[in-house]
Structure 1
Amino acid sequence: MGFRGEMVIVSLMFFVVLGIEVVAGRTHSSLQESEIDRQLKLLNKPALKTIQTQYGDIFDCVDINKQPALDHPLLANHTIKMKPSSYPVWREEDAPLKNPLSLVMLGKERCPTGTVPIRRTSREELISAQNIQNLNQKRYISSLFTKRGHYHGSSVNITTNNPRVIKYQTSTARVRLWGGSMFEISFIEAGWLVSPRTFGDQRTRFYAYWTSGMRGCYNIFCPGFVQISQTTPVGAVLDPISIYNDTQYQIKVTIFGDKKNQHWWLSLNEETIGYWPMSILVDFQDTAEFVEWGGEATGPANLLSSAMGSGYFPKEGEGIAGKFRNVFILNETLYEAYPLEDVLYTQSTNPACYSVSDRRDWYSFFYYGGPGFC
């Protein structure tokens, strides 16, 4: 298949994503109080310990074998894996090129052995999720894509920003791995997001997302993603974040396949966070078909769109524009390798509002994003 065919496939995949049901829990067309209570009970498991962060988030230390992921019908008999059978071989960065890291801020406390931190879901968040279902959504991307291939994973450094986002909008910067066919889309992704509609605030947070078929889910808001780390939960606030024309902070996100058990693992700043079990991903084989790095802005069609990245166009450059750096794919032995230039191309759904820097060595770094107002 030629390059034009690859672009058609990715474009079709993008429009299928527009129709995916994004949930923050198991939403219903008309949630009654009893249904809300039922869902909260499923999501908020009994805690052995509770941690409240300086940002007001509550994390419950839940028995690792009773976490929400295992409520998925395909995971009823799942045995949790505490580590992958093999790890990526990360390259050592040159000190002068290395940005300081944004860290997950859970506080000085940690969960007891045998438990994992699960962010407590509020009643308001469930109601907000239902309201989102009733909104006509629009979505914009500004990304770097690979052509179709066999990809065992990816790692990338992403500067952390806090773009302008209002109620019912979401702005993300992430790496996404695509699997499946164009009519039965499966993908997994991770990075940072700002999402008042999901978390009720405008803070920059670490997140994971997966979809299989036509359903999608952030973090642990529906069964699926298995949390392993005791100190770094999905959904937590990242701090510090990049300062305009000053210090640029980053996170290093890695998603990789485990050939032995075929689960897909997530790490943040080279710490293993958890995994997506193979059994929940439709048509997601032991490799991904496409990899995408970039930003995405989503919100109601009747509102002007949110900012993406830092909120500035790529032409503003270092210290101002949002940035992806050390864009790696992982080979069969999980070594970081730069993708070949001839398998990369960019796509922006509305270049007047968001764009990707025009350069040939995208794998080294690229700028992305924009102010929005589409």
Structure 2
Amino acid sequence: MRPTYDPIMVTKNEKDTREASDHKGNKDLYITTTAQIWHKSGSCPEGTIPIRRVLRKNKSKGTTVDDHARKKPTISPYQFNDNKNMNLLQANHSLAILHTEGYAYFGAKGDIKVCYPSVELDDEYTTSQVALKSGPYNQYEALESGWVVNPSVYGDRQTRFFTYWTIDASVETGCFDATCPGFVQISKDIALGAAIYPISKPNELPYQITIFIFKDPFTGNWWVNYGDKVYIGYWPGELFDRLSFSAETVQWGGEVYSARVGTSPHTATQMGNGEYADRHAGTIRRMRVVQNSQIRIIIITKVLGLKCFTNLISSPLRNCKLGVKMSSHLMMLSIFIIFQSEDGDVIDCIDIYKQPAFKHPALRNHKIQVSFSSSSPEKSQNPDLHVDATPQLWQRSGNCPEGTIPIRRMPNNSESKETSVDDHLRKKPRIIPDPFMESKNTYLLEINRSLAILHAEGFAYYGGKGDIKVWNPSVELDDEYTTSQVALKSGPRKQYEAIESGWAVNPSVYGDRQTRLFTYWTANGIIGLSFVDGSVKTGCFDATCPGIVQVSKDIALGAAIYPISNPTGLPSQITIFIFKDPNTGNWWVNYGEKVNIGYWPKELFNFLSYHAVTVQWGGEVYSTRVGTHPHTATQMGSGQYSDWVSGNSGYIKRMRVIESFGALRFPDWVNSYADEFDCYDTFYISESMADPEFYYGGPGRNYRCP
């Protein structure tokens, strides 16, 4: 078992730095890493871990095991500044440390020289460690690891490897090593509390241990590495409150505990190697931190304006605007965390009960539905064993806490000067009536749009589902877009209602050309005091206007998807499932097989408050140069025409509908359709297939589509 991301990749540039120093005569090249003495006597087999027994003599008659294995909690409040040097001054503790504050920290590392200091009395100890802490000075949470000489815990004065944790400044929780429940060990090679050898001596080779504590961004667990390769184990994220988010300070250095600290006579217990600071004293080198996997984050309680963010380590302050903005309906929301993802996205973790959906006039009295009221419609098994469900890029930077949802901020350049926020976030509404067919293809022909879809009609539909292959097609101009989606629609052709979800490349909405998860809705009728009429005045992408109610803390609407399919690699896909809750009438959207993103409340709709009359799977390109010469070069799908042989075009598989609140099933009637077959085509295959498949896409402008 290992963490879900490799922390060595975060600091892989250190290897180059260290190798470069090899050619500069660096004296530290002779520093040698240490081992544990018990290794000389044997090893633990696979499937087991080494646990050092607590000796009886370690426990005094007047204390419990919990008491003697925990640091003394008495604390002296810091008198000078409430914000700086938090967690430093403690009664009976003497620190000599380097510490960093002012950021959110997700890891810390250091090479600690191993020494053998003298400890005067049995109830005293001395340590050298890496520590991460968070919280108020009198009730801080802490994670620590390094070496220690502690007679009261270990029964002798040997130098030993240790870990330590607490969630209340050591008042009632926490302990060294595995002397209380908390730390989960996975390594069979390293024993917590075991003696370290060899020890550095004057005029001889120095020895060190490398300690790396870091947070797994996917699980929230805090891992400890010993050396550069050994994953010892982790503190589960469930142990912590503040550290479930991040650490507020990192400390490297030494600590001495004694009741005679700050008194006369002072304790003679030593720190480091017992010498004052010089090159031969206690040392910690290669000190590193992880700031949100080198992506910055700031924890706040309320946003009244824009906060300033800082760049990576040793970088200057950036512009406070950060190149992003909030829509008017996002201002003054309760924001608990702000992430900046590695792709530049800013994600606000917003109180689920104060999300923008509830600013819609029809939803002022809406009671949030945290999950759908009935069991989810059955999910069929995916036969494509080698197709991976695709995550979102921002998830590599952290996660939102329980009770919040992620909202992606709009970039500044996503709104043109000529349009309002509402206009540029809504599809263009103009429709071309189809004069030839009143009941079929009702929602297909639209000005400036080119569709290549498979659609089902003729029944009442209560759900639609599909596995959509993820690509990154080229979009020629900023006011054009391309999407691949599942859509359900109802109502008259000029004022239809629609709910859609899939992936999009849409520079005008998202400010770049990345492939992103999207939802979209539009409605028809009079709701509250607003007249709404099928993308003329209502609806939008994602949460850029009030409408969709989000419940998931793990999926951000509009966030970038990764990885993207490529012709020579494994395909990546997203599974989209839109369905109606028969008890509440709300329309839910699922991402993958398990994640309920949220729902469109029934109050938004007129016709869709009953059911959908068509379900569509496929691609759409929007451009003012659709149907003209020269044609737009904006691509659909992968940019290739439909290709069922190699699968290197856009495709949707496992297409399903729900009819009359029944089970998921393939529809009884489907038809493939393309507005411009020479520009974007389709291929539907059902014969000789265990499950019908739909292929679509195209390059746009080319010799067939001038």
TM-score by length of 1: 0.83
**1:269 offset after TM fit, Å?**
0.5
Which residue is equivalent to 1:347? 673
Which residue is equivalent to 2:582? 259
> For 2:613 and 2:534, how far apart are their aligned partners in 1?
18
Which residue is equivalent to 1:119? 408
Higher relative contact order (CA 8 A, sep 6+): 1
Which residue is equivalent to 2:377? 88
* Match status 1:187 vs 2:498: yes
**1:181 offset after TM fit, Å?**
2.5
> For 2:611 and 2:326, how far apart are their aligned partners in 1?
34
* Partner secondary structure for residue 415 of structure 2: helix
Number of residue pairs matched by the alignment: 335
Percent of pairs with identical residues: 31
> For 1:214 and 1:254, how far apart are their aligned partners in 2?
22
* Match status 1:150 vs 2:460: yes
After TM superposition, the structure 1 stretch with the greater mean CA deviation from structure 2, 343-352 or 303-312, is: 303-312
* Match status 1:311 vs 2:639: yes
Residues 247-266 of structure 1 deviation map (CA, whole Å, 9 limit, x = unaligned)? 11111100000000000000
Distance of aligned partners of 1:238 and 1:129 in 2 relative to their CA distance in 1, 3 Å threshold: farther
Is the contact between residue 257 and residue 286 of structure 1 (CA under 8 Å) also seen in structure 2?
no
**1:112 offset after TM fit, Å?**
2.1
Residues 153-193 of structure 1 deviation map (CA, whole Å, 9 limit, x = unaligned)? 01110100011113111100001001223243101000001
**1:282 offset after TM fit, Å?**
2.6
Is the contact between residue 143 and residue 295 of structure 1 (CA under 8 Å) also seen in structure 2?
yes
Which residue is equivalent to 1:27? none
TM-score by length of 2: 0.45
Which residue is equivalent to 1:234? 557
Which residue is equivalent to 1:140? 450
Residues 33-71 of structure 1 deviation map (CA, whole Å, 9 limit, x = unaligned)? xxxxx9733234341111111111011111111111111
Q: 2:610 aligns with which of 286, 289, 300?
A: 286
Q: Which runs of 5+ in 1 are unaligned?
A: 1-37
Name the amino acid aligned to 2:649: A
> For 2:417 and 2:672, how far apart are their aligned partners in 1?
33
Name the amino acid aligned to 2:402: T
Is the contact between residue 190 and residue 253 of structure 1 (CA under 8 Å) also seen in structure 2?
yes
Which residue is equivalent to 1:75? 363
> For 1:161 and 1:75, how far apart are their aligned partners in 2?
35
Q: 1:42 aligns with which of 326, 329, 338?
A: 329
Which residue is equivalent to 2:345? 57
Distance of aligned partners of 1:67 and 1:193 in 2 relative to their CA distance in 1, 3 Å threshold: same
Q: 1:371 aligns with which of 688, 695, 699?
A: 699
State which structure, 1 or 2, has the greater radius of gyration over its C-alpha atoms.
2
**1:334 offset after TM fit, Å?**
5.0
Name the amino acid aligned to 1:346: S
**1:352 offset after TM fit, Å?**
0.7
Name the amino acid aligned to 2:380: R
Distance of aligned partners of 1:98 and 1:153 in 2 relative to their CA distance in 1, 3 Å threshold: farther
Is the contact between residue 680 and residue 697 of structure 2 (CA under 8 Å) also seen in structure 1?
yes
Which residue is equivalent to 1:356? 682
Q: 2:534 aligns with which of 214, 217, 221?
A: 214
Which residue is equivalent to 1:276? 600
Which residue is equivalent to 1:322? 650
> For 1:70 and 1:123, how far apart are their aligned partners in 2?
24
* Partner secondary structure for residue 144 of structure 1: strand
Residues 116-166 of structure 1 deviation map (CA, whole Å, 9 limit, x = unaligned)? 111112333233682895999711000001122111101110100011113
Residues 221-252 of structure 1 deviation map (CA, whole Å, 9 limit, x = unaligned)? 11101111001111111100111143111111
* Partner secondary structure for residue 400 of structure 2: coil
Distance of aligned partners of 1:285 and 1:100 in 2 relative to their CA distance in 1, 3 Å threshold: same
**1:204 offset after TM fit, Å?**
0.6
Task: Report which of the two has the higher share of helix.
Answer: 1
**1:309 offset after TM fit, Å?**
0.3
Which residue is equivalent to 2:387? 99
Q: CA RMSD in A?
A: 2.5
Residues 22-43 of structure 1 deviation map (CA, whole Å, 9 limit, x = unaligned)? xxxxxxxxxxxxxxxx973323
After TM superposition, the structure 1 stretch with the greater mean CA deviation from structure 2, 295-304 or 191-200, is: 295-304
> For 1:262 and 1:353, how far apart are their aligned partners in 2?
39
Which residue is equivalent to 1:299? 623
Is the contact between residue 144 and residue 344 of structure 1 (CA under 8 Å) also seen in structure 2?
yes
Which residue is equivalent to 2:473? 163
Which residue is equivalent to 1:201? 512
Is the contact between residue 69 and residue 226 of structure 1 (CA under 8 Å) also seen in structure 2?
yes
Name the amino acid aligned to 1:337: R
> For 2:608 and 2:342, how far apart are their aligned partners in 1?
38
**1:82 offset after TM fit, Å?**
0.4
> For 1:89 and 1:108, how far apart are their aligned partners in 2?
33
**1:107 offset after TM fit, Å?**
2.4
> For 1:221 and 1:284, how far apart are their aligned partners in 2?
21
**1:335 offset after TM fit, Å?**
2.4
* Partner secondary structure for residue 202 of structure 1: coil
Q: Which runs of 5+ in 2 are unaligned?
A: 1-324, 431-446, 524-532
